[in-house]
Chain A
Amino acid sequence: MSDEVTEKMRAIIAEQAVLDPSEVSMDATLDDLGIDSLGLVEAVFAIEEEFDVQVPFNANDPQDSQFDISNVQSMVNAVKQLVAAKPA
């Protein structure tokens, strides 16, 4: 079930959580991983750099953003949509 986007996302999140990518499970939440608001903002930056996309994330109201940060899987799904929507 693993793919390139998933592996890159796990690496980005693992970096913020100071974990090995293998320790980042797909159903883990940011709280589970100990990633605070600054860590999330830094992860969003890393995602934009890695995939050359614009992440629709508003730090003022993360729950209301179009970018679903419920858990690792939801973020991976969101990134896949952003990548697919990129102009060819």
Chain B
Amino acid sequence: MRRVVITGQGAINALGHSAGETCAAMREGRNGIGRLHFRDVERLSIQIGGQVRDYDPATRFSRQQLSLYDPNTQFALIAAAEAMAQSGLKIDDALAPRTGVVMGNSGGGLQTIDENYRTVYEEGKNRVHPFVIPRLMNNAAASHISMTYGLKGPTYTVSTACASSNHAMGQAFETIKLGNADAMLTGGSESMLVFGGIKAWEGLRVMSRDACRPFSKNRNGMVQGEGAAVFVFEEYEHARARGAEILAEVTGFAMSSDASDIVMPSREGAVRAMRGALRSAGADASKVGYINAHGTGTAANDRSECAAVREVFGAHADELMISATKSMHGHLIGGTGAVELLACIMALREGVIAPTIGYELPDPDCDLDVVPNEARDADVSLVLSNAFAFGGLNAVLALQRV
């Protein structure tokens, strides 16, 4: 049986411009959510988010590149560069067709769409920049990663709303496991922090105006984030043969669909996804030390997720830790599972459990150890990462220490 390990990680988001900065912020329980800065933000009723700060695209990319890269692609390429550098993977003629890319994404190049709708609708112009389409398409980030590193294997984008990244990384895992690739760059990216993006979310009335407080009794909704995280998944023997540092092993993955409601989560669908991931990993539920929760900070998700964890783990639910790092970096929608996987790897490698910050009041419906407000040292060897999307699409990954 082919095993799949992680040999590189990279990220950019509200907590930092690298995976290292992101993990450092998670250890400190730092809040990356603040006031949004973009055109027309004063017309929004929601004015906070986890925006990438102090970011100047011109220091990262040439003018020619930027004419083709929506921020969604920029974020993905920055994360991919860090992951590739850490992995030390050398793409030669033999490895190129055996290496692919699967990225999660939901909104595509939403900033490009927003800007150009403005041009034609608000400003009444009849001409838009010729690269609007290659910038906005959902697969742009995956394609540019493939082009940048000459990766010629299976490459595509998965779009399952808030579960996109987990579905993507699950596909990368299975592609290697089944022998259809030896390495995959995988993760997700999102760049919805723009007037039209937030205006659309406002309509659902699920956004908080002040903070993301998962599992806290006084939680009042989700907060959007942006950015990307990318990982190098690699077949275990391939990684060992070249002496690569192994960050963690991906041992299980499962998906399920609620088949019930387009926005309300279902406990039953979450239960089946977590049980499936454990079965896929061949692991006993009692060995799970940490769960990175979907934990959006909405009343419905957190209640339903905690009930699902109780059902899957029984008495062990009181022994394990579960935290929601969205409280720090916000909800990156299609990129969120990728950024959250950093917390899972940190738990396994460094024995540090990222906290759920903003936690103020216990909720009897969420009476698990949610690692409130401060990171904790703990020795864990098996972790799960949950993602439960709008549309009832669930994807759970299991990771273990090697």
User: Is B59 in contact with chain A by the CB < 8 A criterion?
Assistant: no
Q: Which of A18, A38, A49 contacts B131, CB < 8 Å? A: A38
Return B183 CB to nearest CB of chain A, in Å. Answer: 29
Instruction: Please provide the chain A residues from 30 to 78 with a CB less than 8 Å away from any CB of chain B in the complex.
Output: 38-39, 41-42, 44-45, 48-49
Contact B64 A44 (CB under 8 A): no
* Residues on the B chain within 8 Å of A39, using CB: 64
User: Is B127 in contact with chain A by the CB < 8 A criterion?
Assistant: yes
Q: Give CA–CA (A18, B68) in the complex, Å.
A: 16
Query: Nearest A residue to B134 by beta-carbon distance?
Result: A38
* Residues on the B chain within 8 Å of A45, using CB: 127, 129-130
User: Is B67 in contact with chain A by the CB < 8 A criterion?
Assistant: yes
Contact A44 B127 (CB under 8 A): no
Query: Nearest B residue to A44 by beta-carbon distance?
Result: B130
* Residues on the A chain within 8 Å of B127, using CB: 45, 48-49
Return A74 CB to nearest CB of chain B, in Å. Answer: 21
Q: Give CA–CA (A49, B119) in the complex, Å.
A: 13
* Residues on the B chain within 8 Å of A42, using CB: 67, 129-131
The interface size bin for chain A is: under 10
Q: Give CA–CA (A41, B68) in the complex, Å.
A: 12
Interface size on B, residues (CB 8 A): 7
Return B66 CB to nearest CB of chain A, in Å. Answer: 12
Q: Which of B67, B68, B130 has the largest count of A CB atoms less than 10 A from its CB?
A: B130
Q: Give CA–CA (A48, B67) in the complex, Å.
A: 17
Contact A41 B64 (CB under 8 A): no
Query: Nearest B residue to A49 by beta-carbon distance?
Result: B127
Contact B130 A18 (CB under 8 A): no
* Residues on the B chain within 8 Å of A44, using CB: 130
Q: Give CA–CA (A44, B130) in the complex, Å.
A: 9
* Residues on the B chain within 8 Å of A48, using CB: 127
Return B70 CB to nearest CB of chain A, in Å. Answer: 15
Q: Give CA–CA (A42, B127) in the complex, Å.
A: 12
Q: Give CA–CA (A22, B145) in the complex, Å.
A: 35
Contact with A along B46-64 (1 / 0, CB 8 A): 0000000000000000001
Return A86 CB to nearest CB of chain B, in Å. Answer: 15
Query: Nearest B residue to A41 by beta-carbon distance?
Result: B130
Contact with A along B120-133 (1 / 0, CB 8 A): 00000001011100
Return A3 CB to nearest CB of chain B, in Å. Answer: 25
Return A54 CB to nearest CB of chain B, in Å. Answer: 9
Return B298 CB to nearest CB of chain A, in Å. Answer: 42
Return A69 CB to nearest CB of chain B, in Å. Answer: 15
Query: Nearest B residue to A39 by beta-carbon distance?
Result: B64
Q: Give CA–CA (A80, B13) in the complex, Å.
A: 48
Q: Give CA–CA (A47, B50) in the complex, Å.
A: 39
Q: Give CA–CA (A41, B129) in the complex, Å.
A: 9
Contact with A along B278-296 (1 / 0, CB 8 A): 0000000000000000000
Q: Give CA–CA (A38, B127) in the complex, Å.
A: 17
Contact A18 B129 (CB under 8 A): no
* Residues on the A chain within 8 Å of B68, using CB: 38
Return B115 CB to nearest CB of chain A, in Å. Answer: 15
Query: Nearest B residue to A42 by beta-carbon distance?
Result: B130
Return B327 CB to nearest CB of chain A, in Å. Answer: 42
* Residues on the B chain within 8 Å of A41, using CB: 130-131
15 further contact pairs, Cβ within 8 A, besides A38-B130, A42-B131: A18-B64, A38-B68, A38-B131, A39-B64, A41-B130, A41-B131, A42-B67, A42-B129, A42-B130, A44-B130, A45-B127, A45-B129, A45-B130, A48-B127, A49-B127
Q: List 14 A-B contacts (CB under 8 A).
A: A18-B64, A38-B130, A39-B64, A41-B130, A41-B131, A42-B129, A42-B130, A42-B131, A44-B130, A45-B127, A45-B129, A45-B130, A48-B127, A49-B127
Which residues does A use to contact B, with CB under 8 Å?
18, 38-39, 41-42, 44-45, 48-49
Which residues does B use to contact A, with CB under 8 Å?
64, 67-68, 127, 129-131
Q: Which 7 A-B pairs have the closest CB atoms?
A: A41-B130, A45-B130, A42-B130, A48-B127, A45-B129, A42-B67, A49-B127
